């Protein structure tokens, strides 16, 4: 069996799921660990203390996490480009058959052209490295001696330039800055004061370890998760610096990733992303200054992996504190519809073109993708816009390159030049309505 001793860089994708635990910090050594179930890797086992000469990226992901899957072609391309120096390992936090089904689909449609990533199944290392409360989407960079050097978050910091500098042993200013900012927030989290316990429903007293609600102050740090995730280890909710509307959205909204990608079961285009208040006695809760924001925390034992259960507790607590009536109504809501304006202008890739996503800040650059993936990228670039609905009928093999520099109008103009159109319309959506 061949082992590779390595610099290790950990990529953790999706969103926060728990209360902050004893997470390893820069300067700590990564404990030795063995992955025993590894798909797409012939030895079948991987040991983190028996890897030599290469860097390793551990990517913690799930099959229902659309951003995780969308990032895989980029990770696959990094593996291909840095094969002599880097080994990327995509750690799946789900059962082997579930992961296998997804990998079969990715293989068949050429989504991972090099298919060079090993896929171990594991949740224990996730708990040791991330811990409850650490935000996902985080990268942990570890040197060849097994010492953690950096944290980062997002694809921008996981750039080829930063990877090259790190592998060369050079300092990376952007990563140093991120680590310093993260350390400040961790210290602020330890100074949280005036947290008040909120009532837990009697039926759930054995399932909830702790729960708090307080007015937010800057000392509490700032973190607003996208949603309460389903089937993630170490269930918890931590929200810092959120308006009351966000708390209600977390309690009543979707528990699956909110992205417009075909085959992903979520409520995109069906659930309006902002609750509507129709109240006369609204507390100072929905503004943007620190006196109107909240800190909320709920932690459950690791055995509780049901997001719906956590939501039920949060709903009961919000009702006990604010006593609002909440209903889910279907209303016509704004949306952007992506349609074909001139099919002759639509740029197409070669028939043998594998799907590629080279998009970056201020530019969409896609090859060999369908209109559903293009819609996902449009939404990612402008998440504060109304939902973008794919009404093209399902295009494939698109070759799209649009620089927009943060301008939605430039994006629309670029789509028009490519034979496509974004038209403001309405569609029936479920809306969370909060009233007296």
pLDDT for the residue 408: 95
Give the model's pLDDT for residue 9: 37
- Concatenating the DSSP letter of every residue in 1-26 gives -----EEEEEEE-S---S-------T
Domain-located, residue 294: yes
Q: Which CATH number fits the domain that encloses residue 31? A: 3.40.30.10
Structure tokens at 5: 């001793």
User: Is 1 within the bounds of a domain?
Assistant: no
Domain boundary among 136, 160, 189: 189
pLDDT for 294 equals: 86
Is there a single domain that holds both residue 180 and residue 205?
A: no
Same domain, 394 and 367: yes
Domain check: are 78 and 136 in the same one?
yes
Residue 205, Cβ neighbours under 10 Å: how many? Answer: 10
Within a domain: 61? yes
Do residues 224 and 240 make contact, with C-beta atoms less than 8 angstroms apart?
Answer: yes
Angstrom distance (rounded) from CA 312 to CA 267: 19
* Domain co-membership, 347 together with 317: no
Shared domain for 319 and 349, answered yes or no, is no
Residue 258 within any structural domain of the chain = yes
Does residue 97 lie in a domain region? yes
Answer for the pair 75, 117: CB distance below 8 angstroms, yes or no: yes
pLDDT of the residue at 1:
31
Q: DSSP E strands: which ranges in 243-343?
A: 276-278, 294-299, 325-340
pLDDT tens per residue, the chain (436 residues)? 333 333 333 333 333 323 334 567 788 887 888 888 888 888 788 887 776 778 777 787 877 666 677 778 888 888 889 888 887 888 887 777 778 888 887 777 777 777 888 888 877 776 666 554 444 456 778 787 777 777 777 778 888 998 999 888 899 899 899 888 777 766 655 554 445 667 666 666 555 667 788 888 776 777 777 777 654 445 677 888 888 889 999 999 887 767 787 767 778 888 998 899 887 655 434 433 445 788 888 877 666 667 788 888 888 888 888 889 999 999 999 999 999 999 999 999 988 888 888 887 788 999 999 999 999 889 888 888 999 999 999 999 999 999 988 899 999 999 999 999 999 999 999 999 998 8
Burial profile 136-152: b = 16 or more Cβ within 10 angstroms, e = fewer: bbbbbbbbbebebbbbb
> What is the distance, to the nearest Å, from the Cα of residue 369 to the centroid of all Cα atoms in its chain?
21
Angle of CA points 157, 48, 179, to nearest 5°: 30
pLDDT at 15: 30
Q: Which two tokens stand for residue 12?
A: 């953790």
The reply to whether 158 and 77 lie within a common domain is yes
Assess whether 76 and 160 both reside in one domain: yes
Q: What is the pLDDT of residue 101?
A: 81
This model's pTM is above 0.75:
no
- Residues 20 and 167 grouped into a single domain: yes
- Domain range for 118: 6-189
- How many domains is the chain built from? 3
Look at residue 17 in the predicted model and tell me its pLDDT. 29
* Whether residue 360 sits in one domain with residue 310: no
Is residue 210 located within the same domain as residue 260?
Answer: yes
CA-to-CA separations, 89 to 61, 115, 116, 145, in angstroms, rounded: 11, 12, 9, 19
> Measured on CA atoms in the order 347, 348, 350, 352, is the torsion positive or negative?
positive
Task: Name, in order, each residue with C-beta under 8 angstroms of 3's C-beta and a sequence gap of 6 or more.
Answer: 47, 50, 51, 52
Are residue 122 and residue 179 in the same domain, yes or no? yes
**Residue 14 backbone class (left: φ over 0; alpha: ψ -120 to 50; beta: rest):** left
Does residue 362 fall inside a structural domain?
Answer: yes
Task: Tell me which of 189, 218, 249 is where a domain ends.
Answer: 189
Q: How many CB atoms lie within 10 A of CB 356?
A: 19
**Spatial CB neighbours of 263, under 8 Å, sequence gap ≥ 6:** none
Nearest to 228 by CA among 157, 294, 170, 297: 297
Same domain, yes or no: 282 and 351: no
| Domain end (from 280, 298, 323) | 323
Question: Is residue 157, in this structure, part of any structural domain at all?
Answer: yes
Any domain includes 292: yes
- List Cα–Cα distances, 403 to 292, 358, 386, 416, in angstroms: 37, 12, 21, 13
DSSP H or E stretch at residue 411: helix 408-417
């Amino acid at each position: 069996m061949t082992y590779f001793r390595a610099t290790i860089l950990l990529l953790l994708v999706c969103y926060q799921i728990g209360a902050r635990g004893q997470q390893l910090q820069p300067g700590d050594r990564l404990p030795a660990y063995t992955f025993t179930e590894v798909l797409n890797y012939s030895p079948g086992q991987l040991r983190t203390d028996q890897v030599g000469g290469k860097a390793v990226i551990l990517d913690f992901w799930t099959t229902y996490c659309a951003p995780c899957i969308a990032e895989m072609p980029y990770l696959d391309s990094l593996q291909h480009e840095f094969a002599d120096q880097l080994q990327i390992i995509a750690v799946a936090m789900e059962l082997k058959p579930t992961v296998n089904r997804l990998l079969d689909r990715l293989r068949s449609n050429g989504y991972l052209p090099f298919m060079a990533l090993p896929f171990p199944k594991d949740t224990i290392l996730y708990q040791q490295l991330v811990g409850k409360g650490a935000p996902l989407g985080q990268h942990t960079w570890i040197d060849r001696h097994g010492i953690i050097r950096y944290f980062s978050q997002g694809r921008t910091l996981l750039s080829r330039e930063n990877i090259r500098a790190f592998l060369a042993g050079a300092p990376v200013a952007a990563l140093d800055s991120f680590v310093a900012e993260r350390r400040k927030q961790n210290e602020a989290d330890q100074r949280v004061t005036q947290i008040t316990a909120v009532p837990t429903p009697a039926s759930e007293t054995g399932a909830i370890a702790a729960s708090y609600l307080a007015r937010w102050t800057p000392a509490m740090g700032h973190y607003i998760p996208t949603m309460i995730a389903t089937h993630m280890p170490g269930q918890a909710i931590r929200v810092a610096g959120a308006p009351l509307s966000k708390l209600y959205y977390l309690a009543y909204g979707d528990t699956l990733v909110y992205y417009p990608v075909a085959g992903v079961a979520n409520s995109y285009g069906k659930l309006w992303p902002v609750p509507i208040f129709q109240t006369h006695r609204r507390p100072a809760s929905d503004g943007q200054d620190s006196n109107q924001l909240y800190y909320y925390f709920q932690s459950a034992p690791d055995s509780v992996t049901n997001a719906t259960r956590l939501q039920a507790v949060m709903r009961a607590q919000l009702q006990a504190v604010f006593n609002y009536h909440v209903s889910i109504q279907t209303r016509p809501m704004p949306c952007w519809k992506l349609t074909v304006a001139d099919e002759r202008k639509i740029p197409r890739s070669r028939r043998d073109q594998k799907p590629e996503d080279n998009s970056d800040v201020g530019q969409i650059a896609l090859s060999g993708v369908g209109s559903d993936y293009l819609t996902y990228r449009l939404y990612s670039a402008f998440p504060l816009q109304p939902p973008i609905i794919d009404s093209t009928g399902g295009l494939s093999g698109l070759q799209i390159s649009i620089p927009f520099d943060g301008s939605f109008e430039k994006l629309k103009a670029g789509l028009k030049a490519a034979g496509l159109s974004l038209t403001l319309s309405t569609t029936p959506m479920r809306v969370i309505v909060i009233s007296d």
